[in-house]
Structure 1
């Protein structure tokens, strides 16, 4: 069953919520925006949440405000970051509240993963094909969010996020819930030997094969399609990394929604030639 469930909010925002988590705990919100329900014009139509794509800044801020209101919070309680495809994790505190909402200069700098146990802070990260990774510790009331393109994935940003939650909040990996969100899937993500060589290194380190148990949500990490080209599933590679880091297979949910296949719903940097908007993933704990 698809873990990210579509809902159109009263203010028009089209959002995908991790309904299973939210039904179990009304004190958490987590999900992913679509491209619908905002005020940006083309080619950023319409719910573009990225300030770095040459959209009109006032439109982007207006879209972020619409999102905040749809989540029943205030924009001033949100955080945004300047992501760099790395593996650095920021522990988000009250000092970060409001970071990046109006300008890139004020954002959390050079980070791609974020964790917090503070209520009333809503973490955001931006995507247009890369993989959003969500983490929730119901035992210690802590959450995490990571941005995993191929570089962040092979740097094992998922493991870094889990380890930071363990160190900062006492989180036990076997108690964590994880969700892998809408992103470009193996059906559409073609890469070369340079990328696959890094993927093989990770699989060797994990002691894992490129295939995993499909009965438990697994699948092929990559497929050789000839001429030095491969179809890569960053979703299944991140799943393998999470399992090796101690998260139980049954606690990992994976979206089947492909941002490249579904440009009717999502922005896709690759499918749309780089001239497009950005979705926001979010996670937060209500006070």
Structure 2
């Protein structure tokens, strides 16, 4: 079952999680309903893609209105396609929201156990990973491109939550969000060799050769395998079927749009008034 429900033209929500706790807000933006102009039309949330800065800030304020969070409660990091994971607190509120320079540096995974913070990260094909522990109200996000995936940012997040927050593995829920799928994602031998180094055995569900030295790669499934190997129960992992490259009416795509495009934003947080 698709975990994401289109709530309005601008955002999709992880409805099954929000049904567990109405104070939880978790989802993914679309490219629609904002103020940015071509080639970033229209709901671009990325400050680093040469869009008009004021347009991006207005779009981020709109996301705040849609989610019930002030932009001072957003937390943004400088994503570098690595596997660093850190715990964030209210002291990090507002970082990277109105200017890229103040973002948490060189970090692709963030989590918290504090309310009234909206964790965010930006995407245009990479895999968004959402983490949720209902009992302790821990939430987290990880940005997993192919580099972060093979560096196992997914298992790094699990390790941080289990070891630092006294959480049992069977308590952790994960949702794998919209990303480019193997129907549209072709990579070379270099990338596939890195993938093979992660897999304990070759798994045909992760990649397939389409021509000499060219392979279809399913990063979402690879992340799921890494999560299961890290101890997350398969039944605790939800999986979006949306392809950011195929769904041109909904999403920006770095590969489809040849690198000149906007960014969607993943978000998760608890509201406590």
Instruction: Quickly name the TM-score band, shorter chain normalised.
Output: over 0.9
Shift of residue 226 of structure 1?
2.0
Runs of 4+ in 1 over 4 A off after TM superposition: none
Q: Does residue 90 of structure 2 align to residue 110 of structure 1?
A: no
Paired with 1:263 and 1:169, the residues of 2 have a C-alpha distance of 40
| 3-state SS in 1 of match to 2:2 | coil
Q: Among 60, 76, 80, which residue is 2:72 paired with?
A: 76
What is residue 269 of structure 1 aligned with on the other side? 254
Q: For the residues of structure 2 that align with 1:284 and 1:251, how far apart are their CA atoms?
A: 19
Q: Please, what TM-score do these two structures have when normalized by structure 1?
A: 0.93
| Partner secondary structure for residue 232 of structure 2 | coil
- The 5 A counterparts of 1:27-176 are 27-176=23-172
Structure 2 CA distance for aligned equivalents of residues 254 and 275 of structure 1? 27
Cα deviations by residue, 1:194-250 (Å, 9 ceiling, x for unpaired): 00001111002xxx4414xxxxxxxx1111112111000000000000001111111
Q: Does 1:230 align with 2:223?
A: no
- Tell me, yes or no, if the aligned pair for 2:172 and 2:236 is still in contact at 8 Å: yes
| Structure-to-structure mapping, 1:185-196, within 5 angstroms | 185-196=181-192
- The equivalent of 2:203 in structure 1 is 210
What's the C-alpha RMSD, in Å, of the aligned pairs? 0.9
Pairing 1:283–2:268 present:
yes
Cα distance in 1 for residues equivalent to 2:68 and 2:91:
21
Q: Which string of whole-angstrom CA distances, capped at 9 and with x for unpartnered residues, describes residues 60-106 of structure 1? A: 00000000110012111111111000000121111100001111111
**1:257 aligned to which of 208, 227, 242:** 242
Preserved contact between residue 115 and residue 145 of structure 1 (Cα < 8 Å):
yes
SS of the residue 1:105 aligns to: helix
1:7 correspondence with 2:7:
yes
Distance 1:263 1:274 in 2: 14
Structure 2: runs of 5 or more not aligned: none
Aligned equivalents of 1:168 and 1:126: distance in 2?
26
TM-score by length of 2: 0.98
Asked whether the 8 Å contact 1:140–1:170 carries over to 2, the reply is no
